Amino acid sequence: MHRRTLILAAGAAALLAAVPGAQAQEAVKVGLILPLTGPFTAIGRQVETGARLYMQQHGDTVAGKKIELIVKDDGGVADATKRTAQELIVNDKVDVLAGFGLTPLALATAPLATQAKVPMVVMAAGTATITEASPFIVRTSFTLPQATEPMADWAAKNGIKKVTTLVSDYGPGIDAEKAFTGVFTKAGGQVESLRVPLANPDFSPFLQKVADAKPDALFVFVPAGQGAQFMKQFVERGFDKSGIKLIGPGDVTDDEVLNNMGDVALGAITTHHYSAAHDSPENKSFVEAFKKASNGTRPNFMGVGGYDGMHLIYEGLKKTNGQGGQALIDAMKGMSWTSPRGPVSIDPQTRDIVQNIYVRKVERKDGELYNVEFATIPNVKDPVKAAKSN
């Protein structure tokens, strides 16, 4: 009897050892795909630093399993993102895909997440429809309409009547233009729209058109990092002395580049979900730790997207006891927590983030430029998807 049990036990052990991946189940693999070379490197670095910082602060074991982070560079090119995601799914057998620095990179990968039933945490990209591209997508960044509609409201209520919009000509820029124009014209405002190419933009010819139109305000969306180039050309053309107000979602004054823009940025009004100056104990310690982890770089909204994305993965895994797939996505739905940006939750219907949007003004504080928050619109859902479900 005793001998037979032993033999059976030995047989079971041999069988287990022969099952490929049996060992790997002790780890949860997270494939983090980001632009870490090319023109959008700043976005990738912010997200990676945020994600690594979260792991450093919370340990690398969740529900008894080791979290293994595999970081890959896609250079900001959608074909590379897709190929990398495929390799991570097939070869590395990742349990979670994460990152996605730009909208086209997220959209190219969405069908793979659906086919493989692998949760895909979008930590950066901001076009509203992204979460509809796969039931396995969940987002910890923001949507452009979510950040932009409050800007249109504020402008309409603060004496601005005529606006020129200038946006990068792709998903999030078009979302921002539509969201602003919809709300602002309904309130009686007048809008003229300009679109600038995403790659290597030269803003000068567009700024000439703005000068000719003489609007009360110039509404700008450019992706994180491009604000520096925009602001340089804005000053070169004397806009800082033109009386035309600079407004937009907060991408143009992102916290990483803001401090180097100089006084020209002072007074810019933006609406967004994150400011490094957000006044909370959670944010103060986040900013301090992020700077320590990155040679003094200030976190921006991309950094907090990476940090919160890891939080969502950790808390989801705690709920599923380490299980991935559909169970993990289900566990993430409805989750809420206090982020460095303020209170956030994951909408269980849309898998998109619900968060406060703050109205901010660029001011000098302790010798540095910050987006100083002065009003809060609480618990904002993406308005594009909210309108569809009504």
Residue numbers of the site for ligand PHB (CB under 6 A)?
102-103, 125-127, 171-172, 223-224, 251
Q: Which is nearer to ligand PHB, 100 or 314 (CB)?
A: 100
Residue nearest to ligand PHB (CB): 223
State the nearest-atom distance from the C-beta of 223 to ligand PHB, in Å.
3
Q: Which is nearer to ligand PHB, 216 or 255 (CB)?
A: 255
Q: Which is nearer to ligand PHB, 28 or 146 (CB)?
A: 146
State the nearest-atom distance from the C-beta of 175 to ligand PHB, in Å.
9
| β-pairing verdict for 65-73 and 120-122 | unpaired
Q: Which is nearer to ligand PHB, 46 or 324 (CB)?
A: 46
State the nearest-atom distance from the C-beta of 125 to ligand PHB, in Å.
4
Handedness of CA 77, 83, 87, 89 (dihedral sign): positive
Q: Which is nearer to ligand PHB, 28 or 257 (CB)?
A: 257
Q: Which is nearer to ligand PHB, 31 or 172 (CB)?
A: 172
State the nearest-atom distance from the C-beta of 102 to ligand PHB, in Å.
4
Q: Helices (H) and strands (E) in the chain — how many of each?
A: 13, 15
Q: Which is nearer to ligand PHB, 306 or 322 (CB)?
A: 306
State the nearest-atom distance from the C-beta of 100 to ligand PHB, in Å.
8
Q: Which amino acid is located at 128 in the chain?
A: A
Of the candidates 103, 25, 114, 31, which has an alpha carbon nearest to the alpha carbon of residue 73? 31
State the nearest-atom distance from the C-beta of 40 to ligand PHB, in Å.
8
Q: Which is nearer to ligand PHB, 74 or 216 (CB)?
A: 74
State the nearest-atom distance from the C-beta of 211 to ligand PHB, in Å.
25
| β-pairing verdict for 269-272 and 353-365 | antiparallel
- Token reading at 97: 């895909």
State the nearest-atom distance from the C-beta of 322 to ligand PHB, in Å.
31
Q: Which is nearer to ligand PHB, 103 or 181 (CB)?
A: 103
CA distance 5 to 3: 6
CA distance 70 to 305: 18
Residues 6 or more apart whose CB falls under 8 angstroms from that of 222 comprise 167, 168, 173, 196, 201, 230, 251, 252
State the nearest-atom distance from the C-beta of 47 to ligand PHB, in Å.
11
